[in-house]
Amino acid sequence: MQPQTIKIRVRYSETDKMGVVHHSKYFSYFEMARIEYLRNLGINYSELEKRGIYLAVLEAYCKYKSPAHFDDILTIETSLSRLTAASVKFNYKIYREENEQLLVEGSTTLVCLDTNFKPRRIPEEIRKAMGME
């Protein structure tokens, strides 16, 4: 599937005393973007958890190129990069909307878990929705 984008506005509470968005906050931005990516594929992650299927973060990475500031509108571009039987990797790029400057690049790898938090195969319907046989 094509990369997908969402837009968010930086909250005051996300900044730190350096006057910029705290580096840990981008992982919540990635999470929001990933959930919307899934929604666009027809996968409601909230419903998934109600059925006892979890996608837990196994690995997270972020490279910071330029800081985001309070009140900036950010464009978060999400793409699916790799899918194994039980895991899936997303890549993210965040731009400042105003000048299209690339601010951060990152990725998260998620593993599919059952209600006992044991790894399990990603359900067929999700694999299909994600474009994998």
- Which residues here bind a second copy, judged by CB under 8 A? 9, 11-13, 15-20, 22-25, 27-28, 31-32, 35, 44-46, 49, 54, 56-64, 67, 69-71, 108, 117
Q: Is 16 a catalytic residue?
A: yes
Q: What's the DSSP call for residue 49?
A: H
Q: What's the DSSP call for residue 86?
A: S
Binning the chain into helix, strand and coil, the percentages to the nearest 5 are 25, 40, 35
Smallest distance from the beta carbon of 57 to a second copy, in angstroms? 4
Smallest distance from the beta carbon of 46 to a second copy, in angstroms? 4
Would you say 53 or 129 has its CB closer to a second copy?
53
Q: Where are the beta strands (DSSP E) in 2-132?
A: 4-9, 54-64, 73-83, 87-96, 101-113
Would you say 85 or 117 has its CB closer to a second copy?
117
Catalytic annotation, residues: 16
